[in-house]
A and B are shown apart, each in its own frame.
Chain A
């Protein structure tokens, strides 16, 4: 059984149809990378999967729960789906360790000392154990993003969503975040990443999904996608990406 089933979802903002009949499954342990031009609904798709932006039509299942059904307990669902944001979205008034402990304490109702113990373990996972007492403004972008990953991981999610996790970072900070993501993938975490880091996509993803105009134009394993894209649009997009970021190895 897939971990997540996405069945024919559509969503519009006003007259703009951002998602137009998206269907795919996410198997446990899969790493899917979504690429495509900006404004084609990639971020919206991620926000549908954790119901931050519920689809207008179509259905999404997480295991055997239809999360798009009315009266679904979204608080329960969202704990199982971690999300990492483009601009990190750390709680700016809280130290790194508080950011990670908040959900454990307030949502999972762990007592304070257990929550902080677990928060520290998760900071360690992303190599941020020495920065727990710092506020977000005192951390570099790469460090903030790693705390963001730790905050999501601490909730023991079944699935992690990454919304352009490195696109707001200076080039020399991208590597540290990608390394954490790579490690997660190797540990078997199920991941859906919107990213233009083709090197990461090639080495880690099981499947690349190319989206445009609210549709999935092509979805295939990286080798196939990069060496032999079937769709003309995919080909020209990959070509542009290569021009921008250099041929990825």
Chain B
């Protein structure tokens, strides 16, 4: 039997794997972003305990391997008597991981903004948090878009690590397929192409977002 003769039988499983990969990426990117905003604000605009907690969280996440974090959540937490499904364990791991990195990328955006912007905001009577929300953040976010889209590209690929905690995502399905049929070369080539396509889509979407949010003065004018 040829590769293309056996492939159809496995297509639904592979499609399901692809779906899990996409779901993990999108949910982790979105919820990670929602978490990264308070993290970076705590880091930059608070003192004392909130700032300390944000720094501690980012240090822990960036300082330990993703695989260790996933094992800790999937194998470690059930030891405390809390049952956790593979997909959920992976999701929690990716959300926390991505939040820390996205916070750092946003921080880069905030640091690109001159202190006069904050002074000008104060000078017309905005409060600190109003100034951050309507003056600083919209600019910082625009500066951070390239780095944030890079993070989503990483996430697409990192989700393949979830196969080690039994999440039947795309790479897991390819492994099942390979061990059933021995078409290693073909299937890994095929899913390599699928990952490539996914990432192509992500970078296109990011270009579109950049274009949609484009404002004169926020482009790389020196390249023209």
Contacts and interface: CB of A to CB of B under 8 A. Distances in A.
Partners in one complex: yes
Interface stretch (A29-37, A56-64, A87-95, A207-215): A87-95
Q: Residue among A50, A93, A138, A152 with the most chain B CB within 10 A? A: A93
A106 B218 contact: no
Contacts of A249: none
Interface in B88-141: 114, 116-117, 119-127, 130, 134-135, 138-139
Given A85-B116, A85-B120, A90-B120, A137 B125 contact: no
A76 B139 CA distance: 26
Size band of the interface chain A makes with B: 20 to 34
A136 B120 CA distance: 14
A60 to B, nearest CB: 16
Given A87-B116, A103-B125, A92 B130 contact: no
A69 interface: no
Q: Residue among A78, A81, A152 with the most chain B CB within 10 A? A: A78
Interface residues of B, number: 22
A152 B119 contact: no
Contact of B123 (A50, A135, A138): A50
Given A79-B125, A103-B126, A106-B134, A89 B142 contact: no
B216 A138 contact: yes
A47 B120 CA distance: 11
Contacts of A78: 122-125
Contacts of B124: 78-79, 82, 102-103, 107, 151-152, 155
Contact of A82 (B123, B217, B218): B123
B197 to A, nearest CB: 33
A50 B121 CA distance: 12
A53 B46 CA distance: 19
**Majority-rule SS of B interface residues:** helix
A155 to B, nearest CB: 6
A91 B125 contact: no
Given A93-B142, A106-B134, A135 B217 contact: yes
Q: Residue among B120, B123, B138 with the most chain A CB within 10 A? A: B123
A135 B217 CA distance: 8
A91 B126 CA distance: 13
B215 interface: yes
A91 B117 contact: yes
A52 interface: yes
10 contacts: A47-B119, A52-B122, A78-B125, A83-B120, A89-B116, A92-B218, A93-B142, A102-B135, A103-B126, A106-B126
Interface of A: 47, 50, 52, 74-76, 78-79, 81-83, 85, 87, 89-93, 102-103, 106-108, 135-138, 148, 151-152, 155
A-B pairs with lowest CB-CB distance, top 9:
A137-B217, A103-B124, A89-B120, A79-B125, A83-B123, A89-B116, A107-B125, A137-B216, A135-B216
Interface of B: 114, 116-117, 119-127, 130, 134-135, 138-139, 142, 215-218
